[in-house]
């Protein structure tokens, strides 16, 4: 990975594509985590040369779709589970055959509903975050529940992503439906919408805006918020009192992978307790899927957060998704200015 020679310029010009004995990994989590995984894997399997590139889940899914039939990617590691499930549904990934014993239930569930084509590696709860400085200056009491967000005191202070473009926001939509029932959920989302200043395209944008004080309150994944807070921003994550949904980060082997053996070794490695315990080293505070992995003290404790029994099979399917988004457009999105 890190072999850089002064004559790299020469080597770059040569038009070499993928070599069969390399393992081509696309990583959809944070760069530092990706880098750590690669160096740890190469240490354990010195015979395999890992070629890793970081791309977001949407970009990866688009690429995997376009390359179907002659894929250049062997394994897709990390990133929220929905696109992994879509890939499984469309036959773009294949079962790894790696045992899921010793994993937590939500990780096994991921494997079960996808015909063993994708496995959970970490989970992150959906949460509200607020900028303590902004709310203090404006004299607004911090939110504790989803329903607080409907209150007029948050007028123009809430930022959340658009579920049509962001998986994070879709998780929020599905969570509301599962928490409150479909009709009630849309009423709530519409009245929260009265306070929303903009529906961003990207799912991680609202929390970043809240960290800098560009908005007062954001909705997103808790481990991202914890990370921003540890960087020094006055951002406080809140686990909503009604309960909340969560995402499961996943790993899949691409259908037609040139190096299946290497990819399988990668999946085994990614599910092992050793490597999962090391993620806090690079500032990642998601909850690991291996039951025996150590959890960092900063990680949101899923035991104390009221987690709903998120139904990935139903809400991950294209039919439900299409229907809910259409309704969201009509009842929530269309009212945004």
Partner 1 sequence: MKRTVYAWLLLGLMSFVFLPWHMTRDGFTSFQWLNDGSPSSGLFMVLEASNWWLIPTGLAFVASLLVQFFVAAPVARAKITLAIAVMGLFATVLQGLVIVVNGPRAFTGLLSGEIVQAGQQSMGIGAAVCLISLLFAFSVSLSQSGKGQGDAFVTSTIALIISLVAVFVFFPVMHILIRAFEVDGSLSLIGFFPRFFSSEIWGLNCLIGAGSCGPAINSLILATMTGAGTTALGLSFALIFTRTDFKAKKLLRILTVLPIITPPFVIGLALILLFGRTGAVTEFFAEMFGMEKTRWLYGFWGVYFAQMLSFTPIAFLVLIGVVQGVSPSVEEASQTLDADRWQTFRYVSLPLMRPGIANAFLLGFIESIADFGNPLVLGGNFSVLSTDIFFAIVGAVASPTKAAVLAVALLTLTLSAFMLQRMWLGKKSYATITGKADSGQNAGLNPVLRFICYATALPWAALTLVVYSMIIFGSFVKLWGYNHSFTLDHYIRAFGFDFSRWRFTGVAWDSYFTTLSIATIAAPLTAIIGLATAYLLVRQKFWGKEAFEFSTMLSFAVPGTVIGVSYIMAFNFAPIELTGTSIILIIVFVFRNMPVGVRGGIAAMSQLDKSLDEASITLGANSFTTVRRVILPLMGPAIMAALTYSFVRAITAVSAVIFLVSARHNMATSFIVGRVENGEFGIAIAYSAVLIITMLTAILILQGLIGVRRLRRTDRVQPSA
* Residue given tokens 């990819």 in the structure block: 263
198 binds partner 1 (CB under 8 A): yes
Q: Which of 212, 261, 323, 330 binds partner 1 (CB under 8 A)?
A: 212
Near partner 1 in 86-145, by CB under 8 A: 134
Contact between residue 334 and residue 190 where contact means Cβ atoms under 8 Å apart: no
Q: Which of 113, 169, 189, 275 binds partner 1 (CB under 8 A)?
A: 169
Interaction pattern, residues 40-79, with partner 1; x per rule: CB under 8 A: ----------xxxxxxx-xx-xxx-xxx-xx-x-------
197 binds partner 1 (CB under 8 A): yes
Report in angstroms how near the CB of residue 30 gets to partner 1 at its nearest: 5
* Residue given tokens 């481990």 in the structure block: 223
Report in angstroms how near the CB of residue 115 gets to partner 1 at its nearest: 21
166 binds partner 1 (CB under 8 A): yes
DSSP H helices in the chain: 8-13, 31-44, 57-67, 81-89, 105-113, 132-137, 167-180, 182-193, 205-211, 222-231, 260-271, 273-277, 312-316, 318-331
Report in angstroms how near the CB of residue 104 gets to partner 1 at its nearest: 25
Q: Which is nearer to partner 1, 106 or 328 (CB)?
A: 328
Contacts of 47 (CB under 8 A, 6+ apart): none
Near partner 1 in 240-259, by CB under 8 A: none
Q: Which is nearer to partner 1, 100 or 315 (CB)?
A: 315
Q: How far apart are CA 198 and CA 162, in angstroms?
A: 9
232 binds partner 1 (CB under 8 A): yes
Residue 247 Cα to chain centre, angstroms: 6
163 binds partner 1 (CB under 8 A): yes
Contact between residue 319 and residue 189 where contact means Cβ atoms under 8 Å apart: no
Q: Which of 37, 75, 82, 289 binds partner 1 (CB under 8 A)?
A: 82
31 binds partner 1 (CB under 8 A): yes
Q: Return the C-alpha torsion angle 298, 301, 306, 310, nearest 10.
A: 100
Question: In this structure, what DSSP letter does residue 103 have?
Answer: B
Q: Which of 147, 165, 277, 298 binds partner 1 (CB under 8 A)?
A: 165
């Amino acid at each position: 990975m890190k072999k850089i020679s002064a004559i790299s310029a020469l080597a770059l010009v040569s038009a070499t594509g993928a070599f069969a004995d390399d393992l081509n990994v696309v990583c959809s989590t944070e760069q530092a985590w990706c880098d750590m995984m690669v160096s740890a894997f190469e240490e354990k399997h010195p015979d395999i040369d890992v070629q890793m590139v970081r791309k977001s889940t949407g970009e990866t899914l688009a690429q995997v779709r376009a390359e179907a039939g002659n894929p250049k990617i062997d394994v897709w590691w990390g990133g929220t589970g929905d696109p992994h499930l879509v890939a499984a549904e469309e036959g773009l990934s294949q079962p790894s055959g790696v045992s899921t014993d010793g994993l937590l239930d939500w990780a096994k569930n991921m494997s079960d509903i996808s015909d063993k084509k994708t496995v959970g590696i970490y989970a992150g709860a959906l949460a509200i975050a607020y900028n303590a400085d902004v709310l203090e200056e404006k004299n607004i009491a911090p939110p504790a529940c989803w329903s607080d967000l409907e209150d007029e005191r948050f007028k123009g202070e809430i930022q959340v992503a658009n579920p049509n473009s962001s998986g994070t926001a879709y998780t929020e939509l599905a969570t509301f439906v599962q928490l409150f029932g479909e009709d009630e959920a849309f009423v709530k989302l519409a009245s929260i919408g009265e306070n929303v200043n903009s529906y961003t395209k990207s799912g991680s944008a609202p929390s970043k805006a809240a960290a800098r004080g560009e908005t007062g309150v954001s909705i997103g994944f808790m481990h991202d918020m914890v990370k921003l807070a540890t960087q020094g921003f006055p951002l406080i994550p809140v686990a909503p009192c009604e309960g909340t949904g969560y995402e499961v980060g996943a790993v899949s082997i691409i259908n037609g992978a040139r190096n299946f053996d290497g990819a399988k070794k990668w999946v085994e490695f990614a599910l092992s307790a050793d490597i999962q315990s090391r993620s806090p080293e690079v500032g990642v505070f998601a909850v690991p899927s291996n039951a025996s992995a150590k959890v960092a003290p900063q990680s949101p404790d899923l035991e104390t957060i009221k987690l709903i029994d998120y139904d990935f099979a139903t809400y991950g399917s294209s039919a439900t998704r299409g229907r809910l988004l259409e309704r969201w457009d009509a009842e929530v999105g269309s009212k945004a200015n």
